Amino acid sequence: MAELILQPGKERAVMRRHPWIFEGAVAHLKGRARAGDTVDVLADNGRPLGRAAFSPHSQIRARMWSFDPEETIDHAFFKRRVAAAVAARAALPELREQQGLRLVHGESDGLPGVIADRYGDTLVLQLNSAGAEKWRDALADALLQASGCRRVFERSDADVRGLEGLEARTGPLRGEDRDGPDEIVIEEHGIRLAVDIRGGHKTGFYLDQRENRLLVRRLAAGRKVLNCFCYTGGFSLQALAGGAAQVLSIDSSGPALAGARRNLALNPQLDAARAEWRDADVFEELRALKKAGARFDLIVLDPPKFAPSAAHADRAARAYKDINLLGFRLLNPGGLLMSYSCSGGIGLELFQKIVAGAASDAGAEARILRRLSAAPDHPVALTFPEGEYLKGLLCQAV
């Protein structure tokens, strides 16, 4: 096995059990290793630190599989790790009955680059690192066994694969029903939702917002609601279920809005007359709504990732400031603004400063009622703060 020797002092992060080793932390590679191969990680003094997946094309040169230098990385290793991740979800009562559930959450489950989401009896697998790609078959087999699903469908098409030197992969992977339908209908908090596992965002849906959608339902009664970047209407349908007086949903994707209308049709118990779907650029439409004198009691801002890394933070901050400024200007006194960032390059402290600046520029006085995050099936390892990508604020205009 090849040995990855670290620069002096760079072993400290690994000893604190951070799973990433960046290119600049590496002194040299002793021996030969191809993309995805397991390497021994050593401090500059020769002290063994653990075993990692090597990635020669990425700035993250290696991702730690184990901090035990003696642990063998083989099929049995992945079987254990996957089983532990699935068992951790089963131990939480609020997750046991969920039809849409994340079973593996990458580094926070000790499986860097591995995402696995369950929709009903279908498991959708996304592999985003060279090491995960190397063990693709072992992971698929372990997930099929541990999850109890009938099939595994692969959605390894995230842009980050390009940074690992990997091509996109999409299609059936395992199971007796491997060629089943691309659309899976699940139920979330009493609302039926159609998930497109082949062409939908991420693995088909935004499971991380599950509990926040339920919060919107609890807050929506009698309110005029605006849902921006609505995708397939998850927040909108929960607002309707909660008794919203009116829900205006905006997205620039025609296919996403078609999916939202489809989801509304799957729920005949909801009053469709209270829902309006608008195909438009959100920034432009919010300016038009302000000009028209529109006002709302509850506004949801859940934009796409503006800053995939810290290098994009400045540009992203301007976009977040703009969208929140427009939101505060459309908010009635006493109204609620629920604002999110899923950008890894924007931390919670910076995000709060951006929202505070937007409120100030809008001439609005507001207070934070809650800080919001991903659902508990998206855990964050204490040693891996980068895993806390989704952050949100529930603000109230005073």
Residue pair 311/356 in contact (Cβ under 8 Å)? The answer is no
Q: Which residues contact 110 (CB under 8 A, 6 or more apart)?
A: 65, 66, 81, 84, 85
Helix ranges restricted to H, 242-391: 254-265, 282-291, 313-329, 348-361
- pLDDT exceeding 90 applies to what percent of the chain? 94
Which residue matches tokens 């078609």? Answer: 258
Alpha carbons 154 and 125: distance in angstroms, whole number: 5
pLDDT value at position 270?
A: 98
Under CATH, which architecture does the 3-66 domain have?
A: Roll (2.30)
pLDDT value at position 315?
A: 81
342 is catalytic: yes
Arithmetic mean of pLDDT over the chain: 96
Checking if the pLDDT of 377 tops 90, the result is yes
Quick check: helix, strand or coil at residue 100?
A: strand
Question: DSSP labels for 222-243?
Answer: T-EEEEES-TTTHHHHHHHHTT
pLDDT digits (tens, 9 = 90+) for 240-249: 999 999 999 9
Give the active site residue among 149, 230, 342, 395: 342
Q: Which residues contact 46 (CB under 8 A, 6 or more apart)?
A: none
Structure tokens at 49: 């630190």
Burial (CB < 10 A; 0-12, 13-18, 19+), residue 96, is exposed
Total Cβ atoms within 10 A of residue 387 = 20
Residue pair 114/106 in contact (Cβ under 8 Å)? The answer is yes
The boundaries of every CATH 2.30.130.10 domain in the chain are 3-66
pLDDT value at position 308?
A: 65
The boundaries of every CATH 3.40.50.150 domain in the chain are 206-397
pLDDT value at position 162?
A: 94
Q: Which residues contact 119 (CB under 8 A, 6 or more apart)?
A: 99, 100, 184, 186, 195, 197, 204, 205
pLDDT digits (tens, 9 = 90+) for 193-241: 999 999 999 999 999 999 999 999 999 999 999 999 999 999 999 999 9
Structure tokens at 364: 């609005």
Higher pLDDT, 345 or 156: 156
Checking if the pLDDT of 332 tops 80, the result is yes
What is the mean pLDDT of the segment spanning 20-26? 98
pLDDT digits (tens, 9 = 90+) for 257-314: 999 999 999 999 999 999 999 999 999 999 999 999 999 999 999 998 876 666 677 8
Residue pair 112/64 in contact (Cβ under 8 Å)? The answer is yes
Which of the following CATH numbers is that of domain 206-397: 1.10.3720.10, 3.40.50.1000, 1.20.1280.50, 3.40.50.150?
3.40.50.150
pLDDT value at position 273?
A: 98
| CATH code for the domain defined by 75-182 | 3.30.750.80
Checking if the pLDDT of 255 tops 70, the result is yes
Cα 327 to Cα 157, 169, 362, 373, distances in angstroms: 33, 38, 9, 20
Residue pair 100/118 in contact (Cβ under 8 Å)? The answer is yes
